[in-house]
């Protein structure tokens, strides 16, 4: 067997060293999903062997997000959630995908955390007020219409179960205790979609990335400058991007914001009605909390909490955040002025 010459061996070594020391680059992927857009940034430093090309990764992500949509979109008639909502048999197990069941289970858990303010069965009233798949009429429903829809609302009327209590391998089922029960996961599904994308990037070995779907975000590791991904929280205005209230580093956290300053309609009298329905009053919320941003280990949890806490209003939301040790940032509108409040956990977050 012939020996390599010293010069040739050195050339090979230099080539390998150069490949290992590839200059890090930021890759951007973007597309459409869940009626909105997604953006993914990740840092490729050449350290991952056989990392798929960006176009391959994007195709994989599109497949994952399409699957989430096919399971949880009430805007698709053939989705699993639409089929379940059209299934009017009580106490009968309806087989669903494991991911779908896990999102429902988290929605039920967060209902308790938020003192009932997040209710994934509120869909009939969301539709009635014109914020769901039904055609918007821009009319305030009557008391009789509200009372009739309210009969089919209630988190206690929804059961989620796993075969042999095995969340990893067992089949997943949902059950109704009310034939007209209607599940709406719009308050939590986008966050789950973010987590689904993040988990796939983890499986590829990527350590530094930022995922965003419709404003719900998860950041892991550092950006191209080797600093934590930093996200700006906007001052609420009726036009986007007017000013920044505070910038927050995402240290392997999910982030979600809820507010009523963009998604609304005006009734016949010109009153602005929020798209978020209070399960207790059965009406669009009405208070001076302009927006709330929540940080949590998963974006699904942050997404659900942001909706539930927003329903509660500023004082109660902050009370729950302190009780549950949640990192939240609130922007409150007083007349033409804004003031901010933050939980103890949020203060710790921005000091890290």
Write out pLDDT tens, residues 323-339.
999 999 999 988 778 88
Residue 304, pLDDT above cutoff 50: yes
**Mean pLDDT over the full length of the chain:** 88
Name the residue among 82, 72, 16 with its Cα closest to residue 49. Answer: 16
pLDDT grade for 238, boundaries at 50, 70 and 90? very low
What's the pLDDT at 243? 60
Interior angle at CA 275, CA 272 and CA 281, nearest 5: 90
Kindly give the interhelix angle for 98-113 and 189-203, rounded to the nearest 10 degrees.
120
pLDDT grade for 131, boundaries at 50, 70 and 90? confident
What would the mean pLDDT of 156-161 be, rounded to a whole number? 96
Residue 322, pLDDT above cutoff 80: yes
Contact between 72 and 189 (Cβ < 8 Å): yes
Q: What is the Cα–Cα distance from 178 to 183, expressed in whole angstroms?
A: 12
pLDDT grade for 167, boundaries at 50, 70 and 90? confident
Element containing residue 30 per DSSP (H, E): strand 25-33
Write out pLDDT tens, residues 19-42.
456 799 999 999 999 999 999 999
């Amino acid at each position: 067997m012939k020996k390599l010459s010293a010069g040739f061996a050195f050339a090979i070594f230099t080539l390998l060293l150069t490949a290992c020391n590839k200059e890090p680059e930021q890759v951007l992927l973007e597309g459409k999903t869940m009626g909105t857009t997604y953006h993914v940034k990740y840092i490729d430093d050449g350290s991952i062997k056989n990392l798929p090309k960006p176009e391959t990764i994007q195709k994989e992500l599109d497949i994952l997000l399409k699957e989430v949509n096919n399971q949880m979109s009430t805007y698709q008639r053939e989705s699993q959630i639409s089929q379940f909502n059209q299934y009017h048999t009580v106490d009968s197990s309806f087989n669903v995908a494991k991911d779908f069941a896990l999102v429902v289970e988290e929605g039920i858990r967060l209902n308790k955390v938020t003192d009932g303010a997040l209710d994934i069965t509120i869909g009939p009233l969301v539709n009635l007020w014109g914020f769901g798949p039904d055609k918007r009429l821009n009319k305030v429903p009557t008391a009789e219409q509200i009372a009739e829809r309210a009969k089919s609302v209630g988190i206690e009327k929804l059961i989620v179960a796993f075969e042999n209590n095995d969340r990893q391998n067992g089949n997943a089922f949902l059950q109704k205790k009310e034939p007209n029960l209607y599940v709406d996961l719009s308050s939590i599904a986008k966050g789950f979609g973010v987590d689904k994308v993040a988990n796939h990037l983890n499986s590829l070995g990527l350590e530094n990335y930022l995922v965003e779907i419709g404003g719900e975000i998860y950041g892991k590791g550092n950006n191209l400058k080797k600093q934590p991904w930093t996200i700006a929280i906007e001052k609420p205005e009726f036009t986007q991007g007017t000013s920044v209230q505070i910038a927050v580093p995402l240290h392997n956290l999910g982030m979600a914001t809820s507010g009523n300053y963009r998604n609304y309609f005006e009734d016949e009298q010109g009153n602005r009605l929020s798209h978020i329905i209070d399960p207790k009053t059965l009406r669009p919320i009405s208070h001076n909390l302009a927006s709330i941003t929540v940080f949590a280990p998963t974006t699904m949890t942050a997404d659900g909490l942001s909706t539930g806490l927003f329903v509660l209003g500023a004082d109660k939301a902050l009370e729950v955040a302190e009780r549950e040790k949640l990192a939240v940032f609130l922007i409150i509108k007083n007349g033409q002025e804004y003031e901010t409040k933050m939980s103890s956990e949020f203060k710790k977050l921005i000091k890290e």
